[in-house]
Structure 1
């Protein structure tokens, strides 16, 4: 496998989220992995206190050098985007690379549990909605999906009809494939999807594990992108990512401190067992 993946996400100094969570997984899946950090973050945001150094100017310079050197990629996977200016930089890169057949996977990181994350402003919804229009695959959680679609974010379960309405509203934002990674519907939890290549909807139920680790969305995105690039269809890739994340949470659920995230390097065998589908 000679596929090269560019990860655009933040780099925490303390915690296994974003780039430190994604790089080991995709490397383990035999990809060449490159990174473009959108911010240097002191620690995972769940600590409540943090320092952030945004890197927009560096990103512009790095992309310029890469273009001069003729670097190319097979796919781009985006995560935390710091600002409108940074989103514009990422959008320009994605547009240029898509002309060469590069696939774009987007995790519109901005919130969970019905609210935006610490340090994330309302303007984020607008520029991430614009960026989603360029993506081949978007992977919001339920909260992010509702924000992108401009729909109310429910704090209880949603009906099957409401889930379909949400998915169809997202299709107006992203014209291609969509996954909503955490939806509570009619007595169960599920990953909802629309595969544009097949023009099909699907629903994958899962058992909710009442432990919250930061970075599980990053892990899901990495595995999903890796599976799709291996040639698996979106539903199979989503099932693999969902099962892998479940195994990783289960293996670490008794830890006394979940805030740093899952120590992925110590658990790559769990990804390996599930990712070989």
Structure 2
């Protein structure tokens, strides 16, 4: 369900077109309901307003009762809330996360939803694991926290399953530069792996590796990073890692 359509993303580009589709979300949902469509999974990403959060929350209640719900609370990075959002936006996102089975915030988004001051890394395990537990207390049974690092050499993610109490970490080498869309790629791989029946720790390992290889491939090619990373070339390996095989 598209919440908006843009000609390009907004990072590094000017003159892009933007069409808000908030008014279409409820009619789309009503049509789905008339067809008695049921979903195995619901995965949310960037939501541009409180109104969209409220609509998506209702969609989860109406057509997602039997679905596994994933929320990527896209709203902040590098210690700052995106400028398009009001200061109280994390409150609304926190409410949506309470309905999720798994959430995938970065360190900034985690701090904002918890009402805590953002801390730059490197981090300690005690600090990271405390955040994971406090995020899970909001409602989701599983949490994957990105942007975790304990030193300057590696960066990755931490995963927590509140049912088993398991904490796991997945890291890769750092690659110089900033690369658009990698958060979406990471979260999408995690969701794909979980929906395919893989355990949380394995899903996080695969997602970190896939994202790292996409960034490394792009860095080595020297292409314009505004156009995203080359993830397509890594799909055959991704399928093999997921145990799907590849022709």
* TM-score after normalising by structure 1: 0.80
* Counterpart position of 1:209: 175
Within the alignment, does 1:193 sit opposite 2:162 as a pair? Answer: no
Give me the whole-angstrom Cα distance separating, in 1, the residues matched to 2:124 and 2:24. Answer: 45
* Counterpart position of 1:84: 50
Within the alignment, does 1:259 sit opposite 2:218 as a pair? Answer: no
Are the structure 2 counterparts of residues 268 and 222 from structure 1 closer, same or farther at C-alpha, using a change threshold of 3 Å? same
Give me the whole-angstrom Cα distance separating, in 2, the residues matched to 1:38 and 1:89. Answer: 11
Whether the aligned pair in 2 keeps the contact of 1:110 and 1:116 (CA below 8 Å) is: yes
Give me the whole-angstrom Cα distance separating, in 2, the residues matched to 1:62 and 1:198. Answer: 37
Gaps of 5+ in 2: none
Give me the whole-angstrom Cα distance separating, in 1, the residues matched to 2:42 and 2:61. Answer: 11
Give me the whole-angstrom Cα distance separating, in 2, the residues matched to 1:173 and 1:255. Answer: 42
Q: In structure 2, the residue corresponding to 1:192 is in which secondary structure?
A: strand
Give me the whole-angstrom Cα distance separating, in 1, the residues matched to 2:55 and 2:99. Answer: 13
* Counterpart position of 2:26: 60
Higher relative contact order (CA 8 A, sep 6+): 1
Root-mean-square deviation (CA, aligned residues, Å) is 1.9
Quote the offset at 1:192 in angstroms: 0.9
Quote the offset at 1:256 in angstroms: 2.9
Within the alignment, does 1:120 sit opposite 2:77 as a pair? Answer: no
* TM-score after normalising by structure 2: 0.89
* Counterpart position of 2:211: 245
Query: Which of 213, 233, 236 is 1:269 aligned to?
Result: 236
Gaps of 5+ in 1: 1-35
* Counterpart position of 1:15: none
Give me the whole-angstrom Cα distance separating, in 1, the residues matched to 2:19 and 2:104. Answer: 25
Query: Which of 101, 120, 126 is 1:155 aligned to?
Result: 120
Whether the aligned pair in 2 keeps the contact of 1:244 and 1:275 (CA below 8 Å) is: no
Whether the aligned pair in 1 keeps the contact of 2:210 and 2:234 (CA below 8 Å) is: no
Whether the aligned pair in 2 keeps the contact of 1:42 and 1:52 (CA below 8 Å) is: yes
Give me the whole-angstrom Cα distance separating, in 1, the residues matched to 2:19 and 2:89. Answer: 17
Whether the aligned pair in 2 keeps the contact of 1:223 and 1:275 (CA below 8 Å) is: no
Whether the aligned pair in 2 keeps the contact of 1:38 and 1:55 (CA below 8 Å) is: yes
* Counterpart position of 2:144: 179
Quote the offset at 1:45 in angstroms: 1.8
Whether the aligned pair in 2 keeps the contact of 1:190 and 1:203 (CA below 8 Å) is: yes
Equivalent residues, number: 241
Whether the aligned pair in 2 keeps the contact of 1:148 and 1:173 (CA below 8 Å) is: no
Give me the whole-angstrom Cα distance separating, in 1, the residues matched to 2:190 and 2:223. Answer: 28
